[in-house]
Structure formats: structure tokens, C-alpha cells
Amino acid sequence: MGRAGQGLSSIPSVNRMKIYLDGALVDSADAKISVFDHGLLYGDGVFEGIRLYGGNVFRLEEHLERLEFSAKAILLKMPWSRKQISDAVCETCRANQLVDGYIRLVVTRGVGDLGLSPWLCAKPSIFIIADKIALYPPEYYSKGLEIVTVATRRMNPAALSPAVKSLNYLNNILAKIEARQAGALEAIMLNDQGFVAECTGDNIFIVRKGRIYTPAAQQGALRGITRDAIFDIAKDLAIPMEEHDLTRYDVWNADEVFLTGTGAEVIPVVKLDGREIGTSKPGPIFARVLEAFRRRVLTEGTRL
């Protein structure tokens, strides 16, 4: 039987894992959340995806700040200090002897009844998984992705701010399914005005005549931690970079396109909607940015 059909307990690496759950490290088999948790019933909660590089938790403080902002936006009061969460993240990595990996930090509204009312949930839950992740097959980092624009629009900020990293990712999941149906690994999502917002789990950047452009967060992008790092890298490398409204036309006619995200890291795009981007190979500015990114991730953040 394939891995998907075996159930969690028969996957050795998952089985041996220690999970941080509400104040204690527990075996993964014992890391359980109630079926009455509103994180599960309603997607009521917030999360972070964080990377660990050579024992350095990349930009941990920035992730924890974004977590606090997400929680505040949904009126979820976290009863833990930033230091407590930061210590728990590091402790979970150490308990799993992880030096390079991916950390999933989740805060749910907690256990309530079957109604929506979050005020009936007594206390939020927190759990931390420290593991590995590979979002795209390795060859795409050197040859580049071919992506498509999908019909599913990025959520309107008047409904729920896309800046909130909430447990409800259905909007992105539907876009991801559309990408797959079109034979692509990733998709551009437009906002309701037709401007480029971001991809399903990554921010997007174009290069045009030596300058880097990325949509403003107000256009429907998550304020990516990796995206922030790209601003710093561009400044360091003296590559002009700015936020700018982008249409599909701008992306089709860019010299280079690349995506960033904690899971994806920095990955080039060489085709969008059947149009080849630039030379249809990862470009020179992408290469410089990637090299600088590789150096930064080892030093910026919190050491275990």
C-alpha cells in the first residue's frame, strides 16, 4: 500500500517525531487536537511556516511578529509571550535533532461548541512541527517553473485581509487545483481588479530593465518574510526595487520572473500562460539574488 494509504503511525519519520503541543513535547502519535477545535471546524486560527538553515531559524522574530499581527486581526488573544513561543520553536527543532528544515507553527482558536462563536472557545491551542519540506522537485530551481494564471481571484481584503496568515487556505487551494488541472505546478492569482496579487503560496517578482518590481501587499499579497528579505538583498546588491501594480501583460513581457516563499525559497519562472519569459532561462538578476539569499539565511535570525 502506498504511503498515503498507510496512516500516520506507520510512517517511521513521522512516528519518531516530537511535536510541541500546548506546553509539552509529545510523541507525534500523541499529538492530537480535538474534533471540536475551531481551527479544524472553521479554519479559525493562524499559522507560520518558518525555515531552519544550518541551525539558524531564519528571521524568527519577524515570523513571530507576523503571527501576532495575524492573531490580532482575527481577535485571537495569544496567552504566550513572544519569548515563550520562540523558545518553544527552538526546543522543538532541538528535540528532533533538526539542523535544516521547515517549522510549522500553528495557533488554533481552541475547543468550542458546534456554533461559530469564538468567545465560547476557552483557550487557544498551539502546536509546532519541525520537519522537512520540498515544495517543488529540485530540477525546477535550475530550469525554472512554467506557471499559469488561474480564474480563482485572491480574496478581497474587505472579506478577509490576505495579510492574515489564517488556517483557511481554501482560496489558495482552489487556485492550486486549477494550476494542476492546467498541467502547472504553480499559479498566479489576480486580485478582484485584475492586478497580479501573488501565487498560491509565494510572492512574485519581475525584473524589467535591471529593476525588480513586486505587487504591493495592498494588491492582495501576503507580506512575505522572504519578500522582505528580497528588498534587503536588492538594496545590498544596489539593484533598484519597488512595489508596483502589475498586470499579466507586465509579467509576460518581463525579462525575468521569480517567486519567493519560506517553503519555495527563491525559484525562477520561465513561462507564464504559454508565453516564454525573457530568454526562457533563469536570468542573471535571479542568480545574484539567489546567491545572496543563500548566504543570508545562515546568519539572519535565531540560533538554536
With CB under 6 A as the contact rule, the residue among 148, 222, 230, 257 that binds ligand PMP is: 222
* Bridging pattern class, strands 45-53 and 56-58: antiparallel
What are the cell numbers at 69? Answer: 499581527
Q: Is 171 in the site for ligand PMP (CB under 6 A)?
A: no
- Using the minimum distance from each CB to ligand PMP, give the nearer residue, 219 or 262: 262
Looking at residue 59, what DSSP letter applies? T
Q: Are 92 and 23 in contact (CB under 8 A)?
A: no
Q: Which is nearer to ligand PMP, 76 or 225 (CB)?
A: 225
Our answer to whether residue 123 is catalytic in this structure is no
Which positions from 174 through 213 interact with ligand PMP, judged by CB under 6 A? 198, 201-203
Strand runs labelled E in 98-174 = 101-108, 125-131, 145-149
- In b/e form, how buried is each residue of 150-173, taking b as 16+ CB within 10 angstroms? bebbbbebeeebbbbbbbbeebbe
**Residue 268 interacting with ligand PMP (CB under 6 A):** no
112 binds ligand PMP (CB under 6 A): no
Nearer to ligand PMP, 88 or 264 (CB): 264
Of 32, 72, 165, 235, the active-site residue reads 165
Pick from 71, 260, 285, 297: which binds ligand PMP (CB under 6 A)?
A: 260
Please name which of 162, 144, 141, 145 lies closest in space to residue 153, comparing C-alpha atoms.
162
Question: Is residue 43 close enough to count as binding ligand PMP by CB under 6 A?
Answer: no
Among 22, 40, 49, 80, binds ligand PMP (CB under 6 A): 49
* Residues assigned a catalytic role: 165
